[in-house]
């Protein structure tokens, strides 16, 4: 017998039929008059994370919102991630109340804004955000740019709908947002570059969405803890050596370099070795030793040199 009860899946299942942890993102966009407008969003997740020509986020929102209308028109936005503060969350809930124009909402906006770092006409960013993704809507995907002709239909959009980019239902919209820049406060940036400690994480709240038709629920930040990867899963050194030295006729690995790869999960080993070989070819290296492995492993070494 199952230890679970079945639950009906209804609209907005992530908050009506589930407990789903989400970020709190204040999205700034350009209003028609060029001013910055801010809306609150949680359904905003990484979409293209590797292996494409660019990195992208996915935003799910109401197509009549100021944010959707502004994105359809101007394509640019900034995703401002806010820290745990009751006052800031209260303001996020105010900015998340539907039906107000940008001008009405922004007249009393408590957040300080500043210029971002992308060129061209862009919305301002939140000075208190711990990180900001400046983004551009990829309107070419699924020919979604055609949905610009449907701007201003605020009472519901008639079919046809797109599958994953642009107007996707009567009231819904999805935006695939290319990340142009990630801006971060110095303290958190330096933790990413030099190695994180529990004390160097931003104080990120977890949003659980709008429940009981009354309130937004969220949990306050708690200090993160780390869990090392399982012991005893290392690949045998001789298997690494065998795979490493038959990959390319010109690039060879020392035993010490191979020893640095024994913790790579076996299914990723060939890919990791190929990455090393590619790096060696680009840099005119024919023997990969510990020093070379250190450079390859340290994807951020260029930042550190600076």
Ligand X SMILES: Cc1cc2nc3c(=O)[nH]c(=O)nc-3n(C[C@H](O)[C@H](O)[C@H](O)COP(=O)(O)O)c2cc1C
Nearest in space to 240 (alpha carbons), one of 281, 278, 270: 270
Q: Which of residues 6-35 bind ligand X (CB under 6 A)?
A: 24
Tell me the number of residues near ligand X by CB under 6 A. 19
One residue of 36, 39, 88, 91 binding ligand X per CB under 6 A: 39
Residues 173-212 binding ligand X (CB under 6 A) are 207
> Does 168 participate in binding ligand X (rule CB under 6 A)?
no
Is 60 or 234 the residue whose CB approaches ligand X more closely?
60
172: β partners: 62
Single residue of 31, 57, 61, 77 touching ligand X by CB under 6 A: 61
Q: Does 131 bind ligand X (CB under 6 A)?
A: no
40 contributes a contact to ligand X by CB under 6 A: yes
Report the nearest approach of ligand X to the CB of residue 22 (Å).
7
Please choose, out of 56-64, 79-87, 184-192, 244-252, the segment that lies near ligand X by the rule CB under 6 A. Answer: 56-64
**Cβ(122)–Cβ(111) below 8 Å:** no
Query: Which of positions 64-103 make contact with ligand X (CB under 6 A)?
Result: 65-67, 92-93, 96, 98
Segment near ligand X (CB under 6 A); pick from 37-45, 124-132, 157-165, 272-280: 37-45
Cβ atoms < 10 Å from Cβ of 70:
24
User: Taking CB under 6 A as the rule, which mask of x and - marks residues 247-286 in contact with ligand X?
Assistant: ----------------------------------------
Strand partners, 38: 28
Positions touching ligand X (CB under 6 A) are 24, 37, 39-43, 60-62, 65-67, 92-93, 96, 98, 207, 216
């Amino acid at each position: 017998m199952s230890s679970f009860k079945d639950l009906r899946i209804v609209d907005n299942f992530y908050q009506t039929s589930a407990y789903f942890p989400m970020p709190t993102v204040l999205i700034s966009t350009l209003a028609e008059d060029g001013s910055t407008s801010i809306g609150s969003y949680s359904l905003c997740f990484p979409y293209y994370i590797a292996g494409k020509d660019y990195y992208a986020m996915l935003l799910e929102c109401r197509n009549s919102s100021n944010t959707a209308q502004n994105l359809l028109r101007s394509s640019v936005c900034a995703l401002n991630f806010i820290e745990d503060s009751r006052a800031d969350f209260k303001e996020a809930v105010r900015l998340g109340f539907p039906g107000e124009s940008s001008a009405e909402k922004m007249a009393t906006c408590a957040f300080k804004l500043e210029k971002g770092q992308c060129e061209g006409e862009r919305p301002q960013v939140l000075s208190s955000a711990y990180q900001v993704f400046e983004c551009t809507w990829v309107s070419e995907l699924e020919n979604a740019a055609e949905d610009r002709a449907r701007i201003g239909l605020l009472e519901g959009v008639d079919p046809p709908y797109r599958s994953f980019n642009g107007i996707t239902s009567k009231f819904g919209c999805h935006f695939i947002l290319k990340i142009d820049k990630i801006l971060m406060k110095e303290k958190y940036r330096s933790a990413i570059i030099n190695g994180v400690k529990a004390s160097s994480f931003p104080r990120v709240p977890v949003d659980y969405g709008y429940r009981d038709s009354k309130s937004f629920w969220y949990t306050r930040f708690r200090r993160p803890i780390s869990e090392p990867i399982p012991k005893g899963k290392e690949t045998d050194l001789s298997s690494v050596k065998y795979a490493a030295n038959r990959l390319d006729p010109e690039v060879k690995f020392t035993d010490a370099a191979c020893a640095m790869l024994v913790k790579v999960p076996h299914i990723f080993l060939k890919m990791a070795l190929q990455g090393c070989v590619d790096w060696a070819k680009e840099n005119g290296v024919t023997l990969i030793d510990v020093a070379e492995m250190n450079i390859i492993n340290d994807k951020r070494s260029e930042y550190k040199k600076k």
